[in-house]
Structure 1
Amino acid sequence: MLPNLRLLLADTNLGLTLLNDSGENAAARPAPLDRTVEWVHSSDLVDPTPFLSDNQVLLTTGTQFGSDPAADADYVPYVRRLSERGITALGFGTEVVRNGTPDGLIAACRALGLPLFEVPYRTPFIAVARAAGDLVAEDRYARATWALKAQRAIALAALRPDGLSATLAELSTQLGHWVALFDASGTLDRVFPRATLSAAPDALATVQHEARRLLARGARSSSTVDAGGETLTLQTLGGHDHLRGVLALGGPLALDQASTEVVTSVIALAGLALEQNNALDRAQGLLRSGLLNTLLVGDHTLVDQISRQMWGPLPAAPVLVAVVDAPAPRRDAITDYLELRVEDSPGQLFFARQDDTIVVCVDRTAHGILSDLCALFDLHAGVSEPSSYRQLPRALDQAQQALTRARESAPGVTEFSLVAGQGVLALLARTDAREVGLATLAPVMAHDRAHSTELLLTLRVWLLCNGHFGEAAAQLGVHRHTVRTRIQQAEQLLARDLGSFPARADVWAALLATDSANL
């Protein structure tokens, strides 16, 4: 950390005398003697603030106030400008213009909480500036030395068996901050020290929310937020096209340059460790795909033996089979999330990639995993009916049909039972049968357009009424003989005898395929 006013005043060679150390506004800033000193500047301008920056010490001889000590100078506006600019302290050089520091200036500094010290005539302003510069240089050297030692300690920690955890724990020790790692889904993976979970739950909740926001952006980024009196620093891990997680740090003070350099080195180490894990994940992904194909050909025993050694047993039958959309930009993040759920719930979940989708087998009690997955990544998923592993190919077909239906609406889970409940003919409106249906109904549609008739509408209502002329007439508001005449015209145009069930079914399928209610 940079030197403070206390260290500057403690230099006996300078002979500086503090004239006030408190004021009514002092509580709004750090304790007066603990305020940072970044540099020392001298000026006798009435308003030197355009040439100053935060945390500087200003020295003045007071010529801007005049030489008459009895003059009624207004010191308050001057001191207020300095205080609002963020000046650390004001030093007054005596025996140049005045023999002592003006009482009015002392009162104004005390009232506004700006530390004021006196610089004796024997001490040139350049000596004060040089002393402050030496303190800054010493601090920077000390911080650079600390950074090198910290990086060495962290590098040694990375060589331990659990290198990632050891690295993060050492970083926490070196910084005096708590350190947390969030995985690709924004879930807290590990935190050091462990007591942080109970000591700072609000800060962890805030940082988790921010971590998920950064991950949702899908790009490398960093963020700094304040929560509960702590400064929280977050940095995404991984490449631009695949974020592996977020590293977060919290503590009472913001990171300085030396601390930031140490954190940067840890980010590189953590990113490398996660990339190595990703290479292993890719190999496991290929194994999973192979096991899925083996399951589909019926060798459940072999797959279960391998799964038990790798991830735990397969979910107990009957299982639900889901097919989930896996867009390329989010595919790795989705599989990372599922891997974490496998670790958390062994024996409830098995998944594998299949082309541009992910096939998931879950225990019936773990259906919520699919809902959570779709909600987190805005995905569509289709789910089969409960199935044995022997009937897995049939369940997979059901899930794919349900996924096709799911894509027609907002992201979420669609169950095959919903598709089955709507019947077989309902699928015609979602296939390439539309053109065939339009061709079938074209004569009737052309007649309606040419003669302003309602044959198509009458045909639809009549079929909905199971061929009852009276019921159809009541719905249409016409006489039943009118309905009968229209149906006869339709039969002639369609070249079909609508008295037979196959003909009626064919025409009804054409109506569904063309969605004739909207024509």
Structure 2
Amino acid sequence: MLPTVRHLLSQPDLDLRLLTPATTLPERALEQSVEWVHSSDLSDPTPFLSPGQVLLTTGTQFDTEAHGDELYTAYVARLRQRGIAALGFGTEVIRDGTPDGLVDACLADGLPLFEVPYRTPFIAVVRSAADMVAEERYARHTWALSAQRAISLAALRPDGLSATLSELSHQLHHWVALFDASGTLDRVFPRDAFAGAGLPGTSFETVQREAGRLLGRGQRASATVLAGGETLTLQTLGRRDQLRGVLALGGVRELDAASQDVVTSVIALAGLALEQNHALAGARGHLRAGLLHALLGGSRDLAETISTEMWGPLPSAPVQLVVTDAPAGRLDAIIEFLELRVEEQPDRLFFATQNDRVVLILDRTGRLLLEDLCRTFGLHAGLSDQTDYRDLPRALAQAEQACERSKEGEAGVVEFDDISRQGVLAFLARTDAREVGRATLLPLINHDELNGSELLKTVQVWLQHNGAFDAAGRVLGVHRHTVRSRIELAETLLGRDLGTFHARADVWAALLATASVPG
């Protein structure tokens, strides 16, 4: 950080004296950084000054006899508007002491004013400030080189990306977070930085929203925002046409030039690491897909050998096979979720991508993991019966059928066992038979709509009670003869003899297909 006004005033060899007490100045006025020290006796030196500078003057420009104290007020106002950090008045050169009107104007406008004694030349003040600026810049340059070296060494560790981000957090005394391409928090250092994540008003809430906004633009971008007393800095990672994520960091201090240089180097390293990880993940994905193909083809020994070397043993039989949809925008996040679970439990899960879906092989303890996956990503999944590896093709067919059934409702898991208990007709009715079923029942539907009758419901209840007129009548609240006459009318409208098994089965399948009975 650059030297501050307070630091400059504290130099004992300059003997500078503050005329505007700190308690009368705006908060942290004396902590403002000093970019440079300049001297001028112009009535308006602001065109030649920059914000953050300290101005020294001997006061030859003040003609108070013609303008009075208003001259001081206007002069100080111009300096404040320009962003001058402080004003120094050299005494005993033109006049004795510092004019009271100048002191009052500085107090009123909140500008730090200090007195420079006659024995301290202005050049000494300039040189002292220049030395402090040079020392600070040298120190920051040295720190930046040291920080970049530490970060470069961290990048050589086994998990280079995490080590790099952790080292950046340590060097900057900021938290550092990485969001993936979907805007989901991937990792953060220190790990408890977002302990209150999700609470209204937290930095996490703001940074997650900003990360999503930058990713939504689909191009390289950066942003700096204030939230929760912290300065948040965000930068997208990856190519313009294929963003890999967002690097975010925050802390109570703004980043200076040296810190920004370090961050820039980390952005380059992180972007490269994500590209490499993506390419490596693609290769691992192809290998997983090949092993799944080998397992389905009966080559378990080959798949077991390769899997053990790469990720650990395959799940022990009996296993269950899962098929789940994989939205393109969430596929990378889903794969990373599963990779982490494989690392935690290498012998309980194997997975691979197949077209636009993910196929999982789970041991008997894998149901909780599957439910967690579906809940986290809002997925529909189908789960096969337990099976041995030699029957994986059959299990895959079961999981595919269960997955299709799961898409008829909310996200979650549907087991093939649930489908099989409903019978073959129930499954067939849920394929492409809906329109055929409606066409079959249309005579009854039309009759009920025109006459306000209940032929369709009567047929449904009668079939549910195995063609028993008494039982159907009790459920419908009518006499058995009424049920009998309704069935005879239905037979006439349908052109079918419902006394035969074939006709009853066909009408029951039509009822299932049109969801006229519980599935």
- What is the TM-score normalised by the length of structure 2? 0.76
Q: Aligned AA for 2:273?
A: A
| Partner SS for 1:410 | coil
Partner of 1:397: 397
2:495 aligned partner: 495
Matched residue type, 1:89: A
Structure 1: distance between partners of 2:50 and 2:158:
48
Q: Secondary structure at the match of 1:382?
A: strand
SS, match of residue 23 in structure 1: helix
Q: Does 1:433 align with 2:433?
A: yes
Report matched runs for 1:338-417 at 5 Å.
338-417=338-417
Q: Per-residue CA shift, 1:317-345, capped at 9, x if unaligned? A: 22232212112222223212211221122
Residue 186 of structure 1 corresponds to 185
* 1:255, distance to aligned residue in structure 2 (A): 1.2
Deviations 1:459-502 (A, max 9, x none): 23433444333454455555543432232122122221111233
1:328 alignment partner in structure 2: 328
Name 1:314's counterpart in structure 2: 314
Tell me the CA shift for residue 404 of structure 1.
Answer: 1.4
Q: Tell me: CA distance 1:37–1:264, structure 2 relative to 1, closer, same or farther (3 Å).
A: same
**1:67, 1:97 within 8 Å by CA — same for their partners in 2?**
no
Q: Deviations over 1:14-52 (max 9, x none)?
A: 8753224520676x437x2x321246798979xx99x99
Q: How many residues align?
A: 507
Which residue does 1:3 correspond to in 2? 3
With 115-124 and 266-275 compared, the bigger mean Cα shift is at 115-124
Q: Is 1:37 paired with 2:34?
A: yes
Deviation of residue 399 (structure 1)? 1.9
> Is the aligned partner of 1:455 residue 2:452?
no
* C-alpha distance in 2 between matches for 1:252 and 1:339: 35
- Aligned pairs (5 A) from 1:140-289: 143=140, 147=144, 150-151=147-148, 154-155=151-152, 158=155, 163-164=160-161, 167-168=164-165, 171=168, 174-175=171-172, 177=174, 186-188=185-187, 191=189, 196=190, 202=195, 219=216, 231=231, 233-239=233-239, 244=244, 247-249=247-249, 251-289=251-289
CA-to-partner distance for each residue in 1:81-121, whole Å, 9 max, x for gaps?
99899864344566899754455775786799753213569
* Kept after mapping to 2: 8 A contact 1:57/1:88: yes
In 2, distance between residues paired with 1:197 and 1:333?
19
Report if aligned partners of 2:177, 2:185 keep a CA contact under 8 Å in 1: no
The Cα of 1:403 is off from its aligned counterpart by 1.6
1:124-139 paired onto structure 2 within 5 Å: none
Report the Cα distance in structure 1 between the residues aligned to 2:197 and 2:86, rounded to whole angstroms.
37
Residues 146 and 503 of structure 1: is their aligned pair in 2 closer, same or farther, counting only changes over 3 Å?
same
**2:484 aligned residue:** 484
Q: Distance in 2 between matches of 1:443 and 1:203?
A: 62
CA contact (8 A) 2:148 2:265 kept: yes
Q: What's the secondary structure of 2:410's corresponding residue?
A: coil
Aligned to 2:115: 118
Structure-2 residue corresponding to 1:293:
293
User: d(CA) in 2 for partners of 1:377 and 1:243?
Assistant: 20
SS at match of 2:114: strand
- 1:173 to 1:498, Cα distance in 2 relative to 1, 3 A: closer
Deviation digits for residues 403-452 of structure 1, max 9, x if unmatched? Answer: 21222233333333443454443334532112221332233344455666
Structure 1: distance between partners of 2:387 and 2:147: 56
Q: Distance in 2 between matches of 1:8 and 1:57?
A: 10
For residues 145 and 261 of structure 1, the distance between their equivalents in structure 2, rounded to whole angstroms, comes to: 12
SS in 2 for 1:295: helix
The 3-state SS of whatever aligns with 2:254 is coil
List per-residue Cα deviations over 1:146-178 (Å, max 9, x = no partner).
646654664566467765466446545654556
Distance 1:203 1:464 in 2: 56
Q: Is the 8 A contact 2:57 2:88 kept in 1?
A: yes
Q: Which amino acid aligns with 2:489?
A: Q
Q: Which residue of 1 aligns with 2:302?
A: 302
Q: Offset at 1:509?
A: 1.2
Unpaired runs of 5+ residues, structure 1, are none
Counterpart of 2:509 in structure 1 is 509
Change (3 A) 1:325 1:209: farther
Alignment of 1:2-81 (within 5 A): 2-9=2-9, 16-23=16-23, 28-29=27-28, 32=30, 34-38=31-35, 55=52, 57=54, 67=64
Q: Following TM superposition, by how much is the alpha carbon of 1:268 offset from its aligned partner in structure 2, in angstroms?
A: 1.1
Q: Residues 452 and 63 (structure 1 numbering): CA distance in 2 closer, same or farther, change over 3 Å?
A: farther
Residue identity in the other structure for 2:392: L
Q: In the alignment, is the contact (CA less than 8 A) between 1:23 and 1:112 conserved in 2? A: no
Partners of 1:288 and 1:134 lie apart in 2 by 62
Counterpart CA distance in 2 for 1:398 and 1:215 is 40
The CA deviation string for residues 317-374 of structure 1, in whole angstroms up to 9 with x for no partner, is 2223221211222222321221122112221211001111000112332333223322
C-alpha distance in structure 1 between counterparts of 2:53 and 2:417, whole Å: 72
Distance in 2 (alpha carbons) for counterparts of 1:156 and 1:197: 21
> Counterparts of 1:204 and 1:463 in 2: how far apart (Å)?
56
Q: Quick check: 391-400 or 281-290, which moved more? A: 391-400
SS in structure 1 opposite 2:253?
A: coil
Gaps spanning 5+ residues in structure 2: where?
A: none
Whether contact under 8 Å (2:154, 2:160) holds in the other structure is yes
Between 232-241 and 505-514, the greater mean CA deviation after superposition:
232-241
2: CA distance between counterparts of 1:228 and 1:388? 55
Work out whether residues 43 and 75 of structure 2, in 8 Å CA contact, stay in contact via their aligned partners in 1.
Answer: no
Indicate how the Cα distance of structure 1 residues 462 and 174 shifts in structure 2: closer, same or farther if over 3 A, else same.
Answer: closer
* Aligned partner letter, 1:268: A
Tell me the C-alpha RMSD between the 2 structures: 5.0
Report if the CA contact (8 A) 1:186-1:211 is conserved. no
Within 1, Cα distance between the matches of 2:303 and 2:117? 87
Single out whichever of 289-298 and 139-148 deviates more from structure 2: 139-148
- Kindly state the Cα deviation for residue 510 of structure 1 after the two structures are TM-superposed: 0.9
- Identity score, percent: 62
The question of whether the paired residues in 2 share the 8 Å contact of 1:182 and 1:246 is answered with yes
Q: What is the alpha-carbon distance in structure 2 between the residues aligned to residue 470 and residue 204 of structure 1?
A: 63
- Following the alignment from structure 2 to structure 1, what is the Cα–Cα distance between the partners of residues 237 and 388? 41
Shift of 1:245: 5.6
